[in-house]
Structure 1
Amino acid sequence: MTTAVTEFVRARATDLDLGRTDIRADIAEIGGRGLLATGLGGSDIGEIATLIEQVAAESLAAGFSLWAQRMALEYLVRAPDPIREQYLDELASGRRIGVTAMAAALKHLAGLGELPLRAEREDGRVGGPIAWASNVFPDSLIVFPFRGQDGRGRVGVVRADADGVRIRPAPRLLALGATASTSLTFDDVVVGDDQVVTADLTAFCATIRPIFLLLQTAFCTGVAETAVRESSTRLDGLGAQFRDEYRELARRHETTRRRLHDHAAAAHATEPAELLRLRLDAARNAVEATRLESTLCGGAGYALHSHTNRRFREAAFLPVQSPSEGQLRWELSQYN
């Protein structure tokens, strides 16, 4: 079944990159095959990690949006029953797209900033910005952190077409434009008690963070896998000058993949520092692998709409994807 999914994504990768379509069809295809909720709510996320990796190997845009969809599901499966009953099936089937706007919470809990969304009034209305989120379509479901009037962190859920949700026009991106990534503003958005996923942000994030980071690692290793494989076919002639570089990169990539899949079998048993280190290593490998592939392809890889060029542009996003390389390095330094 995963072969059919990867073939579907592969056939659409160029159109995604050119902005002729967006990721909603890919998510619907995966959800329609019953794959989005595989292992949902458990500590063994090996199957979904493999799926994200395989999809990202064909299109990082699709793999990235698949990660976001799965994380929205991970949040909602831990929500009270009324929220689960209202939205879980829609997200799991791919009929509705999920937005994970939780990066600000993880940054806040790392000690790197306050929560930008706040409930300023007694009637539960929330205001403030979401600096960046993906999968932001008019009928998407947004899961977000906010600070209540009592100062405690919470997680809420609201539809993107709710009153007061302002979606800013999506900027033109170097790649990943099909992921509908943009910023939002909440202007007195009603978040009632029946829209609160949890009133304990700290405990909630401790539960979802290992899954968040491991599945991000999967889309990094996915795009790196294709770049490494393509590079391996171009090591003759002038390419022979890069054989040592290739061998070292391939070795690091395989080690990173092995670590990912070992940890994905028991996500919550992984030490926090290893999660950070793994995510950082995977992103670095992906950037280096796509650079090497582009170098080995020469002018053909420089052509804007070649697959090599697309992977190079897609991977350029990884150092700034939250948690950014700077945040990962800073958090790792706290363990030294």
Structure 2
Amino acid sequence: MTAAMERTDEQQRRTIAEFVRDRAAALDRGETDTRIDLARIGELGLLTAGLDGGELREMVAVIEDIAAESLAVGFSLWAQRMALEYIDRAPAALRAKFRDDLGTGRRVGVTAMAAALKHLAGLGDLSLVAERTDDGLEVSGPIHWASNVFDDALIVFPARGEDGSGVVAAVRADTPGIRINPRPDLLALGATASTSLTFDRVHVPDDQIVTHDLRSFCGTIRPTFLLLQTSFCVGISRTALDESGSRITGLGAQFADEYRALQKRYGNLRDRLHEYADAPASVEPADLLRLRLDGSLVAVDATRLESTLRGGAGYASASATNRRFREAAFLPIQSPSEGQLRWELSQYE
């Protein structure tokens, strides 16, 4: 990448960071949702950063900067980009049908692939079942959790065949037979349209099947999946630590050692993230899992420290400190959850 291109990318990231910052409080209050942010990210050409012959670290930087202002937007952006990653690896006809709309933000993407990664780790069966028809698949069952579930979204999902084989397919959320369940009230992430769905004999034509080889496909996308998740952990940690650093005086000096230790953990985390993003396919699976686990732990600890140092002001629900504290509370339970990550890492010991 040339110096001029790097400056352009940095300016675009600053532009979208300011846009997201100005909207973060309204998102948190439930007055708007992340579709507007995704569309603006698409307008700036950042949804496809590093996708067409570029490097993943370009997208890592985008998600990191956005999550520094709003984890809700960073999380929705991760889901959007993963849906785009899946479609980018699909057969040409399916790419032509949906890739541009996802890459520009004209259509929102839903990733429901976490269930496949959990299944392939040996931690449960796929909940969606696909039966062959003359011209495609008929799919039934639940999706227990997904985000960006808007009425006009594109859902990319895994399903198991009657013979135990696994497929990945894509379908619009307004396809007959899909029921979007009422959204639960969430801490700080209500604007991400996260909820469950039910498929009842949903027809998926052959030209909307991404792959018939679930295991190989998941092996290809998993490094990107985990690295981009770590990106939004790094983003929110950065802001929380910046805020904390300005308060290590007076009574705050009692937390100076904890702050310095967290800064060291954060620096190590960020260095590994960007190193791994230079060559994702070459990173050992255990290193990716450990990175993702460390990301959630650092984010939780950093936002807790910020909240402690802000005191009563941080306890007010309308404060950015309080919002970050609530946003980070999601990270240990997001799939892959802290429990799953610890279990998978134990298999390498």
Report the TM-score, using the length of structure 1 for normalisation: 0.99
Distance (whole Å) between structure 2 residues aligned to residue 291 and residue 98 of structure 1 = 32
Residue matched to 1:45: 56
- Once the two structures are superposed, residues 204-259 of structure 1 have per-residue CA deviations (whole angstroms, 9 ceiling, x without a partner) of 00000000000000000000000000000001111010000000001100110000
Match of 1:69 in 2: 80
Pairing partner for 1:229 from 242, 247, 251: 242
CA distance in 2, matches of 1:175, 1:36: 23
How far apart are residue 44 of structure 1 and its match? 2.6
Matched, 1:26 2:37: yes
Deviation for aligned residue 1:43: 7.9
Question: Does residue 98 of the first structure (1) align with residue 105 of the second (2)?
Answer: no
Query: Quick check: 1:99–1:134 contact (8 Å CA) kept in 2?
Result: yes
Alignment of 1:183-194 (within 5 A): 183-194=196-207
The number of equivalent residue pairs is 336
- One-letter identity of the residue aligned with 1:85: A
Question: Which consecutive residues of structure 1, in runs of 5 or more, have no partner in the other structure?
Answer: none
Equivalent position to 1:293, from 291, 306, 312: 306
Any conservation in 2 of the 1:108–1:115 contact (CA below 8 Å)? yes
**Secondary structure of 1:194's match?**
helix
- Counterparts of 1:1-336 in structure 2, within 5 Å, are 1-40=12-51, 44-120=55-131, 122=133, 124-336=137-349
Give the whole-Å Cα distance in 1 for the aligned partners of 2:52 and 2:124.
29
Which amino acid in 1 is paired with 2:271?
R
**3-state SS of paired residue (1:191):** strand
TM-score (norm 2): 0.95
Asked whether the equivalents of residues 43 and 268 of structure 1 are also in contact (C-alpha less than 8 Å), the reply is no
Aligned equivalents of 2:60, 2:177: Cα separation in 1: 35
Could you say which residue in structure 1 is the equivalent of 2:3?
none
Deviation, structure 1 residue 150: 3.0
Amino acid at match of 2:186: L
Identity %: 66
Partner SS for 2:140 = strand
CA RMSD of aligned residues (A): 1.0
Which 4+ runs in 1 deviate beyond 3 A?
120-123
Q: In 1, distance between residues paired with 2:42 and 2:162?
A: 37
Q: 1:196 to 1:171 in 2, by over 3 A?
A: same
Instruction: Tell me the distance in 2 between the aligned counterparts of 1:172 and 1:275.
Output: 31
- Asked if the contact 1:249/1:289 (under 8 Å) is kept, the reply is yes
Q: Aligned-pair distance for 1:35? A: 1.1
